[in-house]
């Protein structure tokens, strides 16, 4: 009898051991060499963007091949373009004024949790940012997407071999189980968690530092000053992109009563079908399983497919199934996250009521990630920006494309931090800089005051006044131009202790020289 859980645990341990062996050598490479590796991996992944997209749809049944191809290209080409000039190796910054040198330190081995809704693009993206920051990464795939994830990892490993670096820098569990995933999360140095609320919660409970994002119940507010047709077109583009499988896609429209009829008409013109009566009841029946979770049979499916599952007829060209909603909570399934072609519709009196409804929707299982607003009233936009419990507010743009960095200047990312309000350690679109620690080397500033702010100089201070009992205090050299809180001159060059690094011309520390010394010592240590 084969114990799959035990095998999965053993595999996780073996992959992490191999990654730990490969990662230190990779971390010693120069920035230039790391960048060449990252670009090679991105090129290899981009060259297979279409085949990986088809494979993902065939295996999972979620989304559209053409949209998953776009995701794969975003994760490879656009991510690479954004990070290629990013400093992630060695000395990141040296500040002559504060006498602080900042050094990048990779975290080590990362555990990458991959969802079935965005499998190949997530692997590409997480691999690139992990490698760019000098780390190794071991993936645990969703069981329903393990074949396309394994193929993506094979492509990446091929690129690593071609670059003469260890393929073990990127690997994936071939027999994923909950126990194997838990073991991986326990023994890794950092977790990058993307998936359902349960998996993300497990990541945060593992005892290992974690960056993650789970559910996102994104409301889209169409305010009375908005260009209604433009707003609806963008929402349609976003919500139907890959059949709504990105957590940043719109889940409900909230709009002012004075333009509600216009919004409704624009939705119908662009393929929105408002469910009523028996049709609505049938769709609600197939939306959820007994435990309240989404029915996987409709996740990532188009509107026509969902209608077929529910046993209803819809007009040709239907793109979204929409329900008028009056309430928010468990009794109202259209008020929650729906990673498919379903949309809730709310009518409010003004932006103040919209504020309340949007906040309630966000707290209904998706606080933290995103909110979108369509408006030409900058005061309203500002109020929403100040009040909403989200990490990104997207203005007059498709929410999906905006949040992941396609239609906005946000970093292209498939891990959208939801901040502390959403239970995440970051509110960022996660980048390579989130995957390094920063070691700060701080030099004495020769401050003549003690830490309590008392006007007492010490023997080690720049002014040379002795603190040794019985020792005679030496007068500080006079200076009218430079003074300090002790009342002594601040020009202490002549009395600095011999072991202190000599200042550069003009009295500033020669950070470049110090940096060279630090790098040399680091190379010796490594």
What pLDDT sits at residue 437?
A: 96
Do 245 and 385 fall into the same domain?
Answer: yes
What pLDDT tens digit does each residue of the chain (526 aa) get?
A: 679 999 999 999 999 999 999 999 999 999 999 999 999 999 999 999 999 999 999 999 999 999 999 999 999 999 999 999 999 999 999 999 999 999 999 999 999 999 999 999 999 999 999 999 999 999 999 999 999 999 999 999 999 999 999 999 999 999 999 999 999 999 999 999 887 777 777 888 888 998 987 678 999 999 999 999 999 999 999 999 999 999 899 999 999 999 999 999 999 999 999 999 999 999 999 998 888 788 999 999 999 999 999 999 999 999 999 999 999 999 999 999 999 999 999 999 999 999 999 999 999 987 878 999 999 999 999 999 998 899 999 999 999 999 999 999 999 999 898 888 887 888 999 999 999 999 999 999 987 765 565 554 444 444 443 333 344 444 444 433 333 333 333 333 333 333 444 444 444 455 566 666 666 655 554 5
d(CA 296, CA 82): 34
- C-beta of residue 127 within 8 angstroms of C-beta of residue 114: no
Q: CA-based Rg of the chain, rounded to a whole angstrom? A: 28
- C-beta of residue 460 within 8 angstroms of C-beta of residue 496: no
Do 145 and 235 fall into the same domain?
Answer: no
- C-beta of residue 173 within 8 angstroms of C-beta of residue 150: no
Give alpha helix (H) positions in 109-226: 119-132, 146-162, 178-187, 197-204
State how beta strands 109-114 and 190-194 pair.
Answer: parallel
Do 282 and 382 fall into the same domain?
Answer: yes
Q: Which residues contact 14 (CB under 8 A, 6 or more apart)?
A: none
Do 302 and 237 fall into the same domain?
Answer: yes
DSSP secondary structure letters along 286-310: HHB-TTSPBPTTTTT--HHHHHHHH
Choose the catalytic residue: 39, 163, 247, 355.
247
- In the annotation, is 247 catalytic? yes
- pTM, two decimal places: 0.84
Pull the structure tokens for residue 231.
């707003």
**Phi-psi bin for 61: left (phi > 0), alpha (psi -120 to 50), beta?**
left
Measure CA of the first residue to CA of the last residue in the chain; give whole Å: 45
Indicate whether 59 belongs to any domain: yes
Indicate whether 519 belongs to any domain: no
Among candidate residues 462, 463, 486, 459, the one with its CA nearest the CA of residue 475: 463
- Residue 222 CA, chain-centre distance (Å), reads 27
Do 171 and 266 fall into the same domain?
Answer: no
Do 266 and 386 fall into the same domain?
Answer: yes
**Phi-psi bin for 219: left (phi > 0), alpha (psi -120 to 50), beta?**
beta
The sign one gets for the Cα dihedral 248, 72, 74, 413 is: positive
Indicate whether 399 belongs to any domain: yes
> What is the number of structural domains in the chain?
3
Q: Which residue has the tokens 């799959």?
A: 4
Q: Which residues contact 55 (CB under 8 A, 6 or more apart)?
A: 120, 147, 148, 151
Do 339 and 383 fall into the same domain?
Answer: yes
Do 280 and 184 fall into the same domain?
Answer: no
d(CA 198, CA 373): 29
Do 137 and 228 fall into the same domain?
Answer: no
Coil, helix or strand for 325?
coil
Coil, helix or strand for 216?
coil
d(CA 398, CA 248): 10
Do 176 and 59 fall into the same domain?
Answer: yes
Do 189 and 334 fall into the same domain?
Answer: no
Do 356 and 242 fall into the same domain?
Answer: yes
What pLDDT sits at residue 420?
A: 83
Q: Which residue has the tokens 């260009």?
A: 227
What pLDDT sits at residue 218?
A: 95
Q: Which residues contact 210 (CB under 8 A, 6 or more apart)?
A: 185, 190, 191, 192, 193, 203, 204, 425
Q: Which residues contact 431 (CB under 8 A, 6 or more apart)?
A: 83, 86, 129, 411, 413
What pLDDT sits at residue 440?
A: 96
Indicate whether 222 belongs to any domain: yes
Residue 139 belongs to domain spanning: 4-194+432-439
Indicate whether 245 belongs to any domain: yes
> Domain with 157 in it: what CATH number?
3.40.605.10
Indicate whether 507 belongs to any domain: no
What pLDDT sits at residue 502?
A: 43
3-state helix, strand, coil in the chain (%, to 5): 45, 20, 40
Q: Which of 439, 462, 488 is the last residue of a domain?
A: 439
Indicate whether 179 belongs to any domain: yes
Indicate whether 368 belongs to any domain: yes
**Distances in whole angstroms, Cα of residue 412 to Cα of each of 45, 138, 219, 300, 432:** 16, 21, 21, 22, 11
What pLDDT sits at residue 487?
A: 37
> Domain with 342 in it: what CATH number?
3.40.309.10
Among candidate residues 366, 411, 331, 174, the one with its CA nearest the CA of residue 252: 366
DSSP type of residue 410 = S
What pLDDT sits at residue 458?
A: 47
């Amino acid at each position: 009898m084969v114990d799959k859980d035990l095998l999965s645990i053993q595999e996780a341990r073996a992959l992490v051991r191999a990654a730990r062996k490969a990662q230190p050598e990779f971390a010693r490479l120069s920035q230039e060499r790391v960048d060449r590796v990252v670009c090679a991996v991105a090129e290899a992944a981009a060259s297979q963007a279409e085949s990986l997209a088809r494979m993902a749809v065939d295996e999972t049944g979620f989304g559209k091949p053409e949209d998953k191809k776009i995701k794969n290209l975003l994760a490879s080409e656009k991510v690479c373009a954004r990070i290629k000039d990013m400093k992630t190796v060695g000395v990141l910054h040296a500040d002559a004024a504060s006498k602080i040198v900042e050094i990048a330190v990779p975290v080590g081995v990362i555990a990458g949790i991959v969802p079935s809704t965005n499998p190949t693009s997530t692997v590409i993206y997480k691999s690139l940012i992990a490698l760019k920051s000098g780390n190794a990464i071991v993936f645990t795939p969703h069981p329903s997407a393990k074949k396309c994830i394994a193929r993506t990892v094979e492509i990446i490993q091929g690129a690593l071999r071609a670059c003469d670096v260890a393929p073990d820098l990127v690997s994936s569990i071939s027999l994923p189980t909950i126990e194997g995933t838990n073991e991986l999360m326990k023994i890794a140095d950092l977790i990058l968690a993307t998936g359902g609320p349960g998996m993300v919660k497990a990541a945060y409970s593992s005892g290992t530092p974690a960056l993650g994002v789970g559910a996102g119940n994104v409301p889209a507010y169409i305010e009375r000053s908005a260009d209604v047709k433009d707003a609806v077109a963008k929402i349609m583009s976003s919500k139907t992109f890959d059949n709504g499988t990105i957590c940043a896609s719109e889940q409900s429209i909230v709009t002012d009563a004075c333009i509600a009829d216009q919004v409704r008409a624009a939705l119908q013109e662009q393929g929105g079908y408002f469910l009523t009566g028996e049709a609505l009841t049938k769709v609600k029946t197939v939306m959820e399983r007994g435990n309240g979770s989404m029915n996987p049979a409709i996740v990532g499916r188009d509107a026509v497919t969902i209608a077929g599952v529910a046993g209803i007829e819809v007009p040709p060209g239907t793109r979204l199934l929409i329900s008028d909603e009056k309430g928010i909570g468990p009794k109202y399934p259209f008020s929650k996250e729906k990673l498919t072609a379903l949309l809730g519709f709310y009518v409010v009196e003004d932006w103040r009521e919209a504020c309340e409804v949007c906040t309630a929707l966000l707290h209904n299982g998706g606080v933290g990630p995103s909110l979108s607003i369509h408006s030409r009233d900058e005061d309203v936009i500002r109020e929403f920006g100040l009040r909403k419990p989200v990490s990104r507010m997207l203005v007059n743009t498709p929410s999906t494309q905006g949040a992941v960095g396609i239609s906005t200047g946000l970093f292209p990312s498939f891990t959208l931090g939801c901040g502390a309000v959403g239970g995440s350690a970051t509110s960022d679109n996660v980048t390579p800089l989130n995957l390094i620690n920063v070691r700060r080397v701080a030099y004495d500033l020769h401050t003549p005051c003690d830490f309590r702010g008392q006007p007492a100089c010490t023997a080690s201070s720049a002014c040379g006044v002795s603190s040794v009992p019985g020792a005679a205090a030496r007068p500080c050299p006079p200076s009218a131009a430079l003074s300090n809180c002790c009342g002594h001159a601040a020009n202490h060059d002549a009395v600095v202790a011999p072991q202190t690094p000599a200042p550069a011309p003009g009295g500033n520390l020669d950070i470049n020289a110090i940096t060279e010394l630090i790098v040399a010592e680091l190379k010796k240590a490594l």
